[in-house]
Amino acid sequence: MSAPVITVRGATQVFGSRTIFRDVSFDIAAGEVFVILGGSGCGKSTLLKQMIGLLPPTAGEITVAGHSVRTEVEQVRRQIGVMFQSGALLGSMTLLENVSLPLSVFTDLPAATCAEIARLKLGLVGLGDAAALLPSEISGGMLKRAAIARALALDPPILMLDEPSAGLDPVTSAGLDKLILQLRDTLGTTCVVVTHELPSIMAIADRCAMLDAKAQGLIALGSPRELRDHPAQPMVRAFFHRETL
């Protein structure tokens, strides 16, 4: 494995008297597609928020490109483009304006250059012809692609996607999987994806980390094929073989 770009060491999250997960540790290598999976409420989104620097871990340490999420939040954020579950684009702006927004807010580039870069990003996600449309005028799959284009606006080396295929039909979802792999292959983007869609996991993940609410932590770490073919825990087996426990 090449040098880790993200290190998670003993990450723990407690809300009030409730432990969501404890002592979670793994590395994510540069250029890896890393999936965080597990049942509802096991803490996938919470772990993502810790990695982005939005939520300091109750205990443990996470670094992104060598920067601590506790003490160097600015530097951490600069490494990461995020698409949250809602993927919210601003409804009153065209796709081009939505994708330009991070560039005009966070850089000193002239408006025409921001627009040119935004156009390139829209092209990258297959929306080159949709730049002038409003979010209300496009499909769910196109909305996700536009949100990914916006997450890529500032050329982050890491992309984090929270349930990108939620609410999409299988064909559109497979198209999104292909896009994620294309971004990794063409731009070298490290992708951290939260999902519990088994076909997506098998299609895109180099490795995955499985969290479990009952175990309050990590129950499996490895390639999806390893976890499917050699599940070390009944819960892992149930997930990859679609069995009930």
Ligand X SMILES: Nc1ncnc2c1ncn2[C@@H]1O[C@H](COP(=O)(O)OP(=O)(O)OP(=O)(O)O)[C@@H](O)[C@H]1O
Q: CB 21 → ligand X: shortest distance, Å?
A: 8
Of 24-32, 42-50, 68-76, 148-156, the window that binds ligand X (rule: CB under 6 A) is 42-50
Query: Residues in contact with ligand X, total (CB under 6 A)?
Result: 10
Of 22-30, 43-51, 123-131, 234-242, the window that binds ligand X (rule: CB under 6 A) is 43-51
**Rounded CA separation 95/201 (Å):** 28
Spatial contact of 186 and 170, defined as CB atoms under 8 Å apart = no
- Which of 25, 45, 104, 233 binds ligand X (CB under 6 A)? It is 45
- Beta carbons within 10 angstroms of residue 233's beta carbon: 14
Spatial contact of 59 and 12, defined as CB atoms under 8 Å apart = yes
| Per-residue binding letters, 2-41, with ligand X (x by CB under 6 A) | -------------x----x-----------------x-xx
SS3 145: helix
Spatial contact of 27 and 47, defined as CB atoms under 8 Å apart = no
Q: CB 84 → ligand X: shortest distance, Å?
A: 11
| Per-residue binding letters, 97-136, with ligand X (x by CB under 6 A) | ----------------------------------------
- Which of 11, 22, 28, 46 binds ligand X (CB under 6 A)? It is 46
Q: Which is nearer to ligand X, 40 or 136 (CB)?
A: 40
- Beta carbons within 10 angstroms of residue 41's beta carbon: 11
Q: Which residues pair with 88 in a beta bridge?
A: none
Q: Which is nearer to ligand X, 15 or 106 (CB)?
A: 15
Spatial contact of 29 and 187, defined as CB atoms under 8 Å apart = no
Nearest-CA neighbor of 136 among 180, 84, 92, 199? 92
Answer yes or no whether residue 184 interacts with ligand X by CB under 6 A. Answer: no
Q: CB 85 → ligand X: shortest distance, Å?
A: 7
**Rounded CA separation 180/163 (Å):** 13
Q: Which is nearer to ligand X, 13 or 79 (CB)?
A: 13
- Which of 6, 28, 43, 118 binds ligand X (CB under 6 A)? It is 43
Q: Which is nearer to ligand X, 38 or 87 (CB)?
A: 38
Name 59's Cβ contacts closer than 8 Å, sequence gap at least 6: 10, 11, 12, 22
CA distances from 184 to 39, 168, 170, 204 (A): 26, 22, 21, 10
Q: CB 218 → ligand X: shortest distance, Å?
A: 13
Q: Which is nearer to ligand X, 86 or 92 (CB)?
A: 86
Helix (H) or strand (E) holding 98: helix 95-106
Residues that bind ligand X (CB under 6 A): 15, 20, 38, 40-46
